Amino acid sequence: MDLYEYQGKELFGRFGVPVSEGRLATTPAEARTAAEQLAGPIVVKAQVLTGGRGKAGGIKLADSPEDAEREAEEILGLDINGHVVRKLWIEQASEIAKEYYLSVTFDRGTKKALFLLTTEGGIEIEEVAENNPDALARLHVDPLEGSQPYQGRRLIYGAGIADPSEQKQILDIIGKLYTCFVETDAMLCEINPLIVTPEGEVRALDSKFTVDDNALYKHHDIAEMRDLEAYPPEERAAREKGVTYVKLDGEVGILGNGAGLVMSTLDVIALVGGRPANFCDLGGGGDAQGVVDALEIISADPQVRSIVFNIFAGITRCDVVAEGILQALSQTKIEHPIVVRFDGTNADEGRAILAEAAPPNLHVEATMLDAAKRAVKLAG
Ligand code: GDP
Ligand code: MN
């Protein structure tokens, strides 16, 4: 789960990573009040779950509360890479002497946390890695050993940071960021930029924070940070029903059981010249209600022209899925052609159920490839 900047900063603050004081605002008037409370120059920051806000005009400095209100008016409702701005973070403005970059992420290859530090902050880290790879210092942290000061020093020297006061502050931040990363079960904690003020103070000016979805049950406070409005309505509806659904931009609706099978189905649809409209995983159970819910969500997408069901049944039973399909067809009016491929547990029984009911828009195919071809053809 991705967190907004202000949520990430709240977590940073809890673990002692220095951040500026700020307030949340959802209207220009609230922005003005927040600016009055903070006093002095402030910065108005769009809160959206995407980067590059600065370039998109989502971050503006303001000298007065009136100014803040005006900027808030401009930024609210702005579309930044497909994300509409509904919330603002009003923060005490910082003076910036230097912009560094610090992050910790999980390196699956080595099964260790990986720190990246560079003095080339403020720009996309991918750009630094591509154009100036030597400027990027890396450090793996063994989970059993934890983050040790000598390692942090090595990272700091590696990045070429020579000022003793900066070294001391960044060493402290590295230790605290590691604790924050581990304690919150994060997948990524990124500070870009990590600034040095003209007075030599080091502080996190931005935060990009991703928490492992599978660990959210341990962190109710973080789980509650999820902003349902940040997701497209179909994905929200799916989440509420416990269906894994991701909208794509093609015409063939796809439903399968198991993420791997659904991914393969997307590939096969593309192989035979079609474009998938979505990713939808029924999961292992595949009970009738799950099928009904998934079909409702997929068929609600106006771009969908045909639907392919790809079921390879192990724990799932094809007869149960067949019942689900018929139930969905009787409950909601689905006019899309539906192509079904059953294999595995009770495939024959499942096909028999469908053949007996024989809804006019249902087509059964024996293989995944044939089902894909048929669905693409029916999508026209
Ligand atoms: P991003 O564009 O989404 O990564 O948003 P950031 O929070 O990183 O801000 C982008 C840029 O805006 C920073 O690199 C700074 O140059 C500038 N900026 C953000 N906050 C401040 C601030 O408090 N003072 C000043 N002077 N510049 C800021
Ligand atoms: Mn940034």
88 pLDDT higher than 80: yes
Structure confidence by residue, pLDDT tens digits, 213-229 = 999 999 999 999 998 77
Is the CB of 121 inside a 6 Å radius of any atom of ligand 1? no
Whole-angstrom Cα distance, residue 359 to residue 337? 10
pLDDT at position 223? 95
Is the CB of 94 inside a 6 Å radius of any atom of ligand 1? yes
**Would you place residue 42 in the very low, low, confident or very high pLDDT band (cuts 50, 70, 90)?**
very high
3-state helix/strand/coil string of 154-195: HHHHHCCCCCHHHHHHHHHHHHHHHHHHHHCCEEEEEEEEEE
What spacing in Å lies between the alpha carbon of 94 and ligand 2's midpoint? 14
Is the CB of 98 inside a 6 Å radius of any atom of ligand 1? no
* Ligand 1 atom 14 nearest Cα: 122
Q: Where are the alpha helices (DSSP H) in the chain?
A: 5-14, 28-38, 65-75, 125-131, 149-158, 164-183, 220-223, 233-241, 259-271, 288-299, 318-331, 347-357, 368-379
284 pLDDT higher than 70: no
286 pLDDT higher than 70: no
pLDDT above 70 as % of the chain: 99
Distances (CA, A) of 83 to 72, 79, 86, 179: 16, 5, 9, 31
283 pLDDT higher than 90: no
The closest-lying atom of ligand 1 relative to the alpha carbon of residue 59 is 12
Are residues 192 and 208 in contact, defined by beta-carbon separation less than 8 angstroms? yes
Average pLDDT score over residue span 233-262: 88
123 pLDDT higher than 90: no
What spacing in Å lies between the alpha carbon of 45 and ligand 1's midpoint? 8
Quote the pTM value.
Answer: 0.78
Burial of 170 (0-12, 13-18, 19+ CB in 10 A): buried
C-alpha neighbours within 13 Å on the C-beta side of residue 138? 13
Burial of 335 (0-12, 13-18, 19+ CB in 10 A): exposed
Domains in the chain: ranges and CATH = 21-92 (3.30.1490.20), 98-223 (3.30.470.20), 232-379 (3.40.50.261)
pLDDT above 90 as % of the chain: 78
* Helix count and strand count (H, E) for the chain: 13, 19
